[in-house]
A and B are shown apart, each in its own frame.
Chain A
Amino acid sequence: MMKMIQVRKKLENTWAVDNVTIHVAKGSIYGLLGSNGAGKTTLLKIMSGIYLQDDGEVIFDGNQVFENPSNKRRIFFIQDSPYFIPQYTVKQMANFYSQIYSRWDWECYEALIASFEMNTNKKIHRFSKGIQRQAAFIFALSAKPDVLILDEPMDGLDPVLRKKIKSLIIDEVAAREMTVIISSHNLREVEDLCDTIGIMHKGKLILEKDIDDLKSDTHKIQIAFKGPVPPVIYQNMKVLHKEKRGSIVLLIAKGDEEEISSVIQSYQPIIFDLLHLTLEEIFIYEMEDVGYAVKNILN
């Protein structure tokens, strides 16, 4: 659906985006994580066709995005602090978008306005930051894009609104297979929303994972045997981390849950626990070598 192939972009003499290859499948929600200055915003602006990459390709539905209105019409980008035409009211802005985005849906717009109880005759720049962001969401969803690109969308929203917007996004993805690319500097903010996570650090994409795979694959195992641990049990798993606390062995390992437990059970352990890890824990263990980037995202 949305592909970036070896994309590079130089800003002010540094590679803000350096050889990034991303593939976002249709109907998925892709979370782009990274600390400030990692290159997330630049990447999203390239994806939205605002910036032109210096190298590589950005392909949406088989065509490039930059200067291609028929593709850009199906992509909607919300900036980290949403921007509206100066002095425009919500109503005027809606009229504006309705002329620009051919799939604009007035019914959807009215419904969203009602649900957020928004005053459409007020100038948008007089609203608080939070309400401005709601307005941006209303416009974005009413434009019925195939790809919604959100730069730090949860910043400055209270928990109730976050939840509301997340559910709106999920509904839209479920209803018409909209693709969402969302950036954040905080994993917890998006882990319940995304199905794929990419982590950027200094312009490079250092990790890209499917969350479901990660969650079902990685386990925290606590075992204890009467004698020493039989080495055979390690054959079916990839150990990421190993710790010994007295006779109890703590393992963080990847592998098929059923296979692992059947092998261990056959050696009759005294203690055997297999737990699911939180996403946060998975990342900590997965990324011990690139520690800095991850720690910042998890904080």
Chain B
Amino acid sequence: MQSKTSLINKEIIKSIFRSVGWVSILYFLCLIFILPLNMFILFSNGQGQFYYYDNLFSYNFFYQAALMIGIPVILSMFLFRFLQVKQYSDFIHSLPIKRTSIFHQYTLLGYFILITPIVLIAGVILLLYSPLELNGYFPLTDIFEWLGLTILFNTVFYIAGVAVAMISGISIVQGVLTYIALLLPLGLLILISYNLQYFLFGFSAEYILQNKLDFISPLVVAAQINYYSLSTIQLVLYIGLIIVLYFTALFLYKKRNVESVSHALVFPILKPFFKYGVTFCMMLLGVLYFGEMQGDRTWVMIGYIFGAILGYLIAEMVLQKSWRITVHLKGFILYCAAIICLVVLLKMDLMFFEKKMPAMNEIESVHFSEGYYGYYLEEDQEQYSLKERDNIHFVQQLHKSILNNHEGKRLDSRFGDSAFFAYKLKNGKKVVREYKIDKKNYEGMYKLIFESEEYKIATNDIFSINENEVSKIMIHSNSIVDKITSINKHEEKLEFIKALKQDILTSKYEDMQEMTNPYASINIITDKDDIYLDWNYYNKEVEAWLNNHGYSDVRLTGDDLDYALIVKKDAVEINDRQSYEEIRDTIEKSPNKLKIEKTSDLEETLVKTRPFVDGDYVIVYYYKDINQVEISGISAKDAPEFIKNNLK
């Protein structure tokens, strides 16, 4: 008799199967179409060799990920319906079964229902493995890797859903809160990082966010599991998380009051956390929206105020389960006061974040670039850094003058240039800062750094290649007139590279900053990888070498052009969203245009040409024999005299 109501009850198990068994069947059917059937169709008629994949997630990954993220949470919502429906809840809790027993039976059986289809699918693929000769496409171990990872993420999301079921009394709220909880760690990190940029001068959100922190939100990892490689530590952390969530859920269930059913949150203590949490997140989000859109201080403030109000209202609506709410102003005022205190504390800069600048004798090396992306572009690639004391000194001087200058006091999108500093200290620590500045104000220091030999060698790939491994050098005209040539002789390749290096080492900062269109693009192909460089008008050594060796006609010249029309940009109404044809028509109709036909004039104009949005004059180039035009620009300072004289 007694054993009938022990841990496992046959009828309870039957009732669970009857209510949520369909989820298992649905998952199984979907996976059948996504994996085995798909493989069968691909491989049975021999088309498979054209199919590219890394692992089993490559097959219809979008659908796999959607199911992996959706199914476990949906299951947890249906499984624990009895917690969210008043009569159902009263019914279950009137039965002579302990809550511990209810929890274990529902959660474990639900889990069994969830993973059975995954295991079965792995079994089906195993069965197909030799008949379809799948070993030609992927190793057997891929199946187990797929099985393990799919089960892992399903488990994480399922257990998260179960744990949230215990704190919520409405199924929809349970579902939404589960996903919020799964996204929150990373989301909050992103929001806080971006917001700190407005308060901590020099804080680099991009740098913080690139430190492979995706894994703190399992949902983000699951959405890219087809190429994400999970480390052992992360794996252990996830398994730990599953165990912790399981027992947390059990604990919460035992504490849960049955009468709280149909409340958004069943534990009153969570309500303020939820309310102010939503307000805080929405406030940060508001800044991200308005701040990134508009960039100046007023819009940032509007973002804060608007976001906080919106967040507070949304939270109240959820808690009061109605959109017609009574607003508790007192709570909001307290919140605002707390936020103002927080901002004041941040601005006091108690950690000396803003002023901190490593001393010369502490610095081992420094990485300096015009933006964060140069720093962490490739994770396995050693980043260049400057070690010469002179250069470290120059970088530090630049850093100091940015700090002393109020211009870039905040990250402001009005300043288009970015200065990124990463000091590597002798004690192994790093100091990383990023500033939005107007580069023109610091030209002197930029010139010193950019023209240093160390910087040039560090930032130009051509100095790192082995000249003897160069298999081919291609030069391409980079215009509508398709001209291409290649340098194949070994001696010539060496000479050409030497000329290129020479030009780079002698190039001036002003030249490097020029935006004019290059003559041609150069592609150096080595056994390992390709390097792309430009042949610019100031590359005198390269030009001389190409001329001497008969390659110079690869670039566009006045001979390739029929004629050109030129107007002052502010005399016509054009913009960069228009097609070349529309711009051409506008310019052709313009009364104040200059026609250039002389080859030497065309030549002179071509040299100074830049993208048209960038110039004071707009030029339409008409080619010989080609029924296409090129729209370019030219700046007033570069414009040849005959243009300036004719267009006033």
Contact = CB atoms under 8 A, between A and B. Distances in A.
Contacts of A50: 90, 93-94, 258
A119 interface: no
11 contacts: A50-B90, A51-B258, A72-B94, A73-B5, A79-B87, A87-B18, A88-B15, A96-B15, A100-B4, A100-B96, A101-B96
Contacts, number: 73
Contacts of B15: 85, 88, 96
B11 A69 contact: no
A83 B5 contact: no
A83 B9 contact: no
B97 A99 contact: no
Given A85-B19, A87-B18, A98-B11, 4 more contacts: A50-B93, A51-B257, A83-B90, A102-B4
Nearest to B89: A50
A86 interface: yes
Contacts of B259: 11, 42, 45, 51
Given A51-B258, A86-B19, A95 B96 contact: no
B442 interface: no
Rank and list the top 3 A-B pairs by shortest CB-CB distance, nearest first. A72-B96, A99-B11, A73-B96
A35 to B, nearest CB: 20
Given A69-B98, A79-B91, A83-B88, A102 B11 contact: no
B95 A67 contact: no
B18 A48 contact: no
A248 interface: no
Interface of A: 11, 42, 45, 48-52, 67, 69-73, 75, 77, 79, 81, 83-88, 95-96, 98-102
B266 to A, nearest CB: 13
Contacts of B93: 49-50
B5 A69 contact: yes
State the main secondary structure of chain A at its contact with B. loop
B2 A100 contact: no
Given A51-B259, A52-B257, A83 B91 contact: yes
A100 B10 CA distance: 9
Contacts of A45: 90, 258-259
A157 B182 CA distance: 50
B94 A49 contact: yes
A70 B258 CA distance: 20
B350 interface: no
A175 B268 CA distance: 47
B4 A99 contact: yes
A79 B90 CA distance: 8
Contacts of A51: 257-259
Contacts of A81: 87
A96 B258 contact: no
Nearest to A100: B95
B97 A69 contact: yes
B270 interface: no
Interface string B239-277: 000000000000000000111000000000000000000
Contacts of A79: 87, 90-91
Nearest to B15: A85
B99 interface: yes
B4 A48 contact: no
A50 B93 CA distance: 5
A73 B94 CA distance: 9
B1 interface: yes
A86 B1 CA distance: 27
A114 B18 CA distance: 28
Nearest to A98: B11
Nearest to B88: A83
Nearest to A70: B96
Looking at A69, A71, A88, the one whose CB has the most chain B CB atoms below 10 A away is: A69
Interface string B60-94: 00000000000000000000000000011011011
A58 to B, nearest CB: 14
B94 A102 contact: no
Contacts of A88: 15, 18
A84 B15 CA distance: 11
A77 B92 CA distance: 11
A67 B99 contact: yes
A77 to B, nearest CB: 4
Nearest to A151: B90
A67 B102 CA distance: 11
Contacts of A72: 94-96
A81 B18 CA distance: 23
Contacts of B11: 95-96, 98-100
Interface in B10-39: 10-12, 14-15, 18-19
A52 B97 CA distance: 15
A224 B258 CA distance: 61
B91 to A, nearest CB: 4
Contacts of B18: 85, 87-88
